Amino acid sequence: MHLNYGKPKRTMAPEPLVTPPMTDPEPVPHCDVCGALAEQQSSARRAHDMSRVSDLNIEIRRHPHEGR
């Protein structure tokens, strides 16, 4: 019988820059989504919810943008 060695890892994330996780990413200036995420992040930071802050860091960093 064929053994299943688990699901292949998805390595689709295009991350050209390796940014240290401690650094806040720059939200893209004219992007509503990034702006909203950055706002949520600052309120999370005010609430000292650091796990949410770093979640939002990841979301901001991963938000795709067309063109540059």
Q: Vertex 39, ends 38 and 44: CA angle to 5°?
A: 95
CB of 4 vs Zn ion, minimal distance in Å: 38
- Interface residues for Zn ion in 6-35 (CB under 5 A)? 28, 31, 33-34
Q: What does the DSSP 8-state code read for residue 29?
A: T
Using CB under 5 A as the binding rule, whether residue 63 contacts Zn ion is answered as yes
How many residues touch Zn ion (CB under 5 A)?
5
Tokens describing residue 30: 């004219």
Amino acid at 53: V
Quote the least distance from Cβ 49 to Zn ion, whole Å.
Answer: 21
Comparing CB distances to Zn ion, the nearer of 1 and 13 is: 13
Cα 58 to Cα 1: distance, rounded to the nearest angstrom: 41
* Residues in contact with Zn ion by the rule CB under 5 A: 28, 31, 33-34, 63
